[in-house]
């Protein structure tokens, strides 16, 4: 899905996304894998019931606008509208029988503002399934490719530190970003900062940390030993720590940031995938 560049993520969860344009919410998307038969009618009823609980909101089912029909031709659709005191909404419930994925999209709009062209552009770019092995994650300047099979488990966007955690049990991949690097590394080098000052990725600090040059950038690299012996796995289970750990942290001086990719698993990690993630991980 492609949205105007001024729209920013204001809420993100495993199957829920909300975008703001600085004035308020503009788009909300929810999605879910459906098991069994999907009923638009039931979902509309749920939405109507929910809207009735909010005073002053008038919810109604509508027919799909003609201009949206072409953009949403691959889906079974059901359109709806609601009017609040200050803001209106127009949305659609989508179901793709091929992927058995149901989605709900709703555009928020201020009274008297026409955003039909922008809405159409968003709907035309909508895809509920990805043909490639890797999915691009792009938000708050962060750009990364993550294997399709991994789900977003946790995220943090705090001033100075971003973290996205993806999971495909028993594997877990962390994307990290720290800034501003010139302040963080003012009194120490990358290794010292990571070992003694950085409060995140503590589970990586147990591995042997090596300094390396990653595409001309100062970097730290660490990997747990190759041996995956029974005793080691047993100890890892007892101590509740993943025996296989891999990480790389590098200083992106052109952007004044420190980036990091870390992975842990009870099984052997596929380092080629992790190298690919590192190669495509960047900040705008």
Partner 1 sequence: MIWRRRKKLHKHHLTREPSTRAEAFAYCPVKSREVLEEVLEGGALILTYPLVIRPWLAGVAQRLGMGSTEPITRRLQLDEMGSLTWRLLDGRRTVQDVVDCLCSRYKLNRRETEVATTGFLRELGKRGLIALRSPHEEDREQSL
> Which is closer to partner 1, CB of 161 or CB of 276?
161
Assess 144 for contact with partner 1 (CB under 8 A): no
Touching partner 1, residues 36-75 (CB under 8 A): none
Assess 258 for contact with partner 1 (CB under 8 A): no
> Which is closer to partner 1, CB of 23 or CB of 279?
23
Neighbour-count burial of 97, counting CB atoms closer than 10 A to its CB (0-12 exposed, 13-18 middle, 19+ buried): exposed
Assess 123 for contact with partner 1 (CB under 8 A): no
CB contact at 8 A, 269 and 247? no
Other Cβ atoms within 10 Å of 106 Cβ, number: 20
Assess 200 for contact with partner 1 (CB under 8 A): no
Q: Which DSSP letter does residue 6 get?
A: T
> Which is closer to partner 1, CB of 140 or CB of 234?
140
Other Cβ atoms within 10 Å of 87 Cβ, number: 15
Other Cβ atoms within 10 Å of 83 Cβ, number: 16
> Which is closer to partner 1, CB of 7 or CB of 203?
7
Give the residue among 191, 207, 210 at the shortest CA–CA distance from 242: 207
Question: C-beta of 176: minimal distance to partner 1 in Å?
Answer: 14
Assess 186 for contact with partner 1 (CB under 8 A): yes
Could you list the residues that contact partner 1 (CB under 8 A)?
A: 8, 22-23, 140-141, 157-160, 179-180, 182-183, 186, 255-257
């Amino acid at each position: 899905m492609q949205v105007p560049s001024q729209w920013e993520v204001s809420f993100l969860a495993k199957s829920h996304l909300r975008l703001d344009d600085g004035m308020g919410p503009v788009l909300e998307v929810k999605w879910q894998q459906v098991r069994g038969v999907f009923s638009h009618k039931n979902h509309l009823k749920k939405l109507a019931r929910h809207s009735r609980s909010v005073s002053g909101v008038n919810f109604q089912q509508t027919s799909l606008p003609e201009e949206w029909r072409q953009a949403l031709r691959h889906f079974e659709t059901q359109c709806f509208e609601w009017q609040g005191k200050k803001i209106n909404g127009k949305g659609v419930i989508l179901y793709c029988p091929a992927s058995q994925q149901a989605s709900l999209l709703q555009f928020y709009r201020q009274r008297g503002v026409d955003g039909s062209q922008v809405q159409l552009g968003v709907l035309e770019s909508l895809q509920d399934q990805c043909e490639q092995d890797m999915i691009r994650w792009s938000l708050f300047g962060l750009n990364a490719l993550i294997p399709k099979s991994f789900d977003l488990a946790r995220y943090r966007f705090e001033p100075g530190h971003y973290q996205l955690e993806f999971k495909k049990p028993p594997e877990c991949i962390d994307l990290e970003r720290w800034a501003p690097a010139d302040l963080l590394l003012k009194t120490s080098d990358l290794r010292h900062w990571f070992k003694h000052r950085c409060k995140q990725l503590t589970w990586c600090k147990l591995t042997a940390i090596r300094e390396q040059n990653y595409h001309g950038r100062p970097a730290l690299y660490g990997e747990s030993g190759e041996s995956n012996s029974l005793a080691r796995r047993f100890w890892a289970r007892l101590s509740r720590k993943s025996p296989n750990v891999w990480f790389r942290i590098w200083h992106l001086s052109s952007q004044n940031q420190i980036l990091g990719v870390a992975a842990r698993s009870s099984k052997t990690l596929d380092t080629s995938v992790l190298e690919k993630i590192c190669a495509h991980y960047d900040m705008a």
